[in-house]
Structure 1
Amino acid sequence: MGASTPRHHSTPPPLLTKRILAFAFYVLVPLALLHYLLSLPPPPPPPTSTLTAPKPQQQPAAARKRAPPPPRCDYSDGELVRSEAAPLLYNGTSCGGTIKAGQNCEAHGRPDTGYLRWQWRPRGAGCTVPPFDPAEFLRLVRGRHVAFVGDSLARNQCESLVCLLSSAFPSQLVRGAGGGDGDGDGDELRKFRRWAFPSHGATVSVFWSPFLVNGTEKAKGGTGLNHNRLFLDQPDQRWAPEVPGIDVVVLSAGHWFLHPAVYYDRGAVVGCHQCPDPNNRTETGFFGVFRLAVRNALGEIVLRAARTEPSNRRPKLAVVTTFSPAHFEGDWDSPRACARTEPYAPGEREPEYMDREMSGAEAEEVAAARADAAARGAGVDVEALEVTRLAGLRADGHPGPYMHPFPFAGGERDRVPNDCVHWCLPGPVDTWNEILLQVVKRWAAGVDADDDASSPP
């Protein structure tokens, strides 16, 4: 037999090989992987506490109420405590456009700064005066109008508040003039000013009304009317008609009542102080007139609020800043008229007779107006901002000779004008607004609680 020829196995063509590999890669392998995954046990569900927050539940109205208001405190009873801890929120440069030049003690060269480092500590249990918080104040008066009504001390306090608030939030002067050397009392554009705080939709205003009621001021410079005229039965139309649009009104007056004046009621003369015609009129003094002016101003606020349609009525807070004593020691133009650099020590100065009479009348009229507002259902809370004792201790906080720039730049002088009535800014008057914040906080807490209680759950 001859040798057989070996048989050869056939080889698939290259194109078929590629198709087989592609089928395995794109079809068989994924099917095998899917089969494996399906054979695994299901994983445990993730804990909801770490991946899913529980949905908030609607709380009843009572549970949505804000924290309880701070206690009603007697801020007239306390002591001054020196403190270096609290930083100053503004100075004569950062807020120089708001401060009246005569109260910008830093810009006018006052060399000492110790008067900036005192805090008021009330003695009542649970009563404190924390450093001023601009964010908290503006939160409380969001969308509201705060107005100061009265004399140059009302303006002094208003400018302090604007500077404190502007240290943290931008403000816009939307009515009146800016800072500078205007004398405030005689500059009409500085008598009526308004600032807006766009971040909170809040406004702060000042209205010049040295008698709180209608009056004509004596002429300056020795020509014209030499006495004031007060019309005790007439509201001051420069501010009273705006009461419906004001939410917090702060009244402050007193020193203008010390000047010569004639008093009118229903067109007739009812008295005078330092009477311009002593042969025809008998001295009646000013304490009773001051009381009546405060009474009528508060009554005007309550009455206008009560007359407002209930659908348009907004809760109001009326505050009376009590009388702030002057501290002239000796002649008004002595270089030492009010040159103290520290407050009076405990027991060194007690409130004087005039201080007690003025602040006492204010406290009594506040209590009476509070009762009247409640009886009328006017929606007005009435409070006293008692600063008389506190202010009486702060003889160190006045501009004194620094009401004018650098009064001793040319050396010591025998005579120099002094301001021992108003307050340096920054200075003791900032404490008044720290107390005002506590009063507003308590009022706003009550208003918000009432709103929560009346709203549906």
Structure 2
Amino acid sequence: MVIWSQFLVAATERVINGSASGSYDLHLDKIDRNWSEKLTSIDYAIFSDGHWFFRHNYLYEGGNLIGCVFCDMPNVTALGPGPAIRRAFLAAFEEINNCKNCRKLFSVLRTFSPSQFENGAWNAGGGCNRTRPIQKEDLNKDVPDWDYRRIQVEEVEIARTAGEECANVFEILDVTEIMTMRPDGHPGIHWGNQWMKGYSDCIHWCLPGPIDTWNELLLEIITRYVS
């Protein structure tokens, strides 16, 4: 079962002049019920989230606007994606650990996987035309992607400690480093989106290849758990 939830928390897209804006109001203390209502019927959950936080989003707690991401508004605190990512995963894992009618749940968080546009942003001619992986010693770890991974890992560790009382288990599918080494693994201009011709997809991943590695790592995590 695949459940679509862009932010894990409650979100409403802003409408401007009758058109969807692509910007969202995120209520960081309210869970997206699209996924949380199904918790009582599942035993395993894989959380794979991140890139939707890189929009012009507006962050709320207690119904009050506390900041925004990539916006320039007077009297509104400008926050990066990091605080929103942290608060969303915190809320999601608290929902799991506070679920009274749930079975023991095994949760896996897939860490942040990078977008790898080069020579421009996605809408400014950027692409991903490499044909082979890069070496580990050539990785650049002085980029925000590693901060987002760190935030996710920290929230898993907090949830793992809290989950011991209710026998919930939290694990990490750590793909950040290995995916940073695979700029050759994106669809690029070959993604076949008829509405986005001329643009490259350097965020999603191809099959076979990188995703096979994800599956192998996930299988190992689950095998260790059940044995």
What is the TM-score of this pair, normalised by structure 1?
0.46
**Equivalent position of 1:39 in the other structure:** none
**Equivalent position of 1:358 in the other structure:** 148
When Rg is computed on C-alpha atoms for both structures, the one with the higher figure is: 1
Find the partner of 1:401 among 189, 203, 207: 189
Query: Given residue 342 of structure 1, which amino acid in structure 2 is its aligned partner?
Result: R
Q: Secondary structure in 1 aligned to 2:28?
A: strand
How many corresponding residue pairs?
224
**Equivalent position of 2:2 in the other structure:** 206
CA apart distance, 1:274: 2.2
**Equivalent position of 1:429 in the other structure:** 211
- Report if the CA contact (8 A) 2:66-2:77 is conserved: no
**Equivalent position of 2:56 in the other structure:** 260
CA apart distance, 1:389: 0.4
Find the partner of 2:176 among 382, 388, 399: 388
Post-superposition Cα deviations, 1:59-84, rounded to whole Å, max 9, x if no partner, equal xxxxxxxxxxxxxxxxxxxxxxxxxx
**Equivalent position of 1:300 in the other structure:** 95
- Report if the CA contact (8 A) 2:66-2:76 is conserved: no
Q: Distance in 2 between matches of 1:229 and 1:283?
A: 14
Find the partner of 1:279 among 38, 56, 74: 74
CA apart distance, 1:333: 5.9
The structure carrying a bigger strand percent of its residues is: 2
Q: Secondary structure in 1 aligned to 2:34?
A: coil
Q: Does residue 320 in structure 1 map to residue 115 in structure 2? A: no
For structure 1, the 5+ residue unaligned runs are: 1-204, 406-414, 446-457
Percent identical: 36
Q: Does residue 369 in structure 1 map to residue 159 in structure 2? A: yes
- Report if the CA contact (8 A) 2:119-2:125 is conserved: no
Q: Distance in 2 between matches of 1:404 and 1:238?
A: 29
- Report if the CA contact (8 A) 2:13-2:20 is conserved: no
Query: Given residue 88 of structure 2, which amino acid in structure 1 is its aligned partner?
Result: A
Alignment of 1:160-179 (within 5 A): none
**Equivalent position of 1:411 in the other structure:** none
For structure 2, the 5+ residue unaligned runs are: none
Q: Secondary structure in 1 aligned to 2:98?
A: helix
Q: Distance in 2 between matches of 1:264 and 1:230?
A: 6
Query: Given residue 399 of structure 1, which amino acid in structure 2 is its aligned partner?
Result: P
Post-superposition Cα deviations, 1:156-193, rounded to whole Å, max 9, x if no partner, equal xxxxxxxxxxxxxxxxxxxxxxxxxxxxxxxxxxxxxx
Query: Given residue 233 of structure 1, which amino acid in structure 2 is its aligned partner?
Result: D
What is the TM-score of this pair, normalised by structure 2?
0.90
Q: Distance in 2 between matches of 1:239 and 1:416?
A: 34
CA apart distance, 1:289: 1.6
Q: Secondary structure in 2 aligned to 1:420?
A: coil
Greater RCO (Cα-Cα under 8 Å, separation 6 or more): 1
Find the partner of 1:235 among 31, 37, 61: 31
